[in-house]
Amino acid sequence: MGSKTHFQKKHLIDLGLQVSMRHSTSFCSHYLEGRGPQILTIMDITGVHDISVVWCRCADAESHAEQLLACGFFPATVSKPRTAFTFWTLKFFQMLNHVARTTPWDFTGTIRRLSDNIDPTAISVCDSFLIIWKRKRI
């Protein structure tokens, strides 16, 4: 968002973004039966973003991890995911790793600096990324 003199950084949550899982055009009519929207940390090649996710809570709904996979996100954990990665980010890192020998630490450090160059240590996705990268390679 901008002011008259400069742009100001705004988070997607602050702008009111809510991502609906499973229901492509609307929110699940049962989502208020749970805890309501949940904050999820997403790592993309553009940076690390916190988004508000509305899970499907229908009787035949898949698990949260399966809902994330269906929407193009790879969850860091299978049960109660709080962090996820876009498939494009994983593919991008795979290419950098094979071609340029980029390490997971360097990659996540770069993504953290894209998100917050003043205090990149405030963003903690490195551990989650290493866990899923090791899991993927097995």
Q: Considering the chain, what percentage of its residues have pLDDT values greater than 70?
A: 83
Alpha carbon separation from 10 to 2, 37, 89, 110 (Å, rounded) = 9, 19, 22, 20
Domain boundaries, the chain: 18-137
| CA 71 to chain CA mean position, Å | 11
The mean-pLDDT minimum among 5-14, 51-60, 115-124 falls in 115-124
> What's the average model confidence in pLDDT over 16-22?
82
pLDDT for residue 129: 82
